[in-house]
Amino acid sequence: MTIRHATEADAEALATILNAIIEEGGKTAIDGPLSPQELAEWFMSGPHCVTCMVAVDENGHALGFQTTERFHDDLPSATADIGTFIAKGARGSRIGKQLADATFAAARQAGLDALRAVIRRENKGAVAFYRALGFQGHVPREGAVVLVRTLELEGRSSGAFTV
């Protein structure tokens, strides 16, 4: 498996993964399918996009992807939202952890101090996943769990984070 920056050439495969997750229900706040063009705008090329990493198998097939973006106005400066989307058949194989390692490095390189995960309350697996990655806290939000992870920049702690 290889982790790399996603390109717009990946948009169709990533839209297929995301749309299958949307169809499962209860795992994402995105409530309708996205076209490959919409996915690219939302997660790769739009003005609010920061990073988009993709995991591909030895044949180049996408297994999952992880994004950071600054779409929401309530984000503190140098903070982005993170989203993780893993194909159903690839879950439980530590792809998310490997994506996170690459995403954290790319996010630090992009100048981010912290990442925020806004997770549907009923998605217990995602809550456990982000907690295992070092995301902490709980900011009350209707229907959601909000967790935050600070990032180290150039070998120093970025300090406390408040939402």
Q: What is the pLDDT of the chain when averaged over all its residues?
A: 89
CA dist., res. 147 & res. 136, Å (int)? 5
Please, which residues bridge with residue 134 across strands?
Answer: none
The pTM assigned to this predicted structure is 0.88
pLDDT reported for residue 153:
57
pLDDT reported for residue 55:
97
Reduce the DSSP state of residue 145 to 3 states and report it: strand
**Is residue 30 a contact partner of residue 22, using CB atoms and an 8 Å limit?**
yes
Residue 48 phi, psi dihedral angles, 5° rounding: -95, -5
25-73 pLDDT, tens digit per residue, is 778 878 889 999 999 999 999 999 999 999 999 999 999 999 999 998 8
**Is residue 15 a contact partner of residue 34, using CB atoms and an 8 Å limit?**
yes
pLDDT at 124 over 80: yes
Q: Which residue type, as a one-letter code, is found at position 150? A: T
CATH code of 2-150, in short, is 3.40.630.30
pLDDT at 155 over 70: no
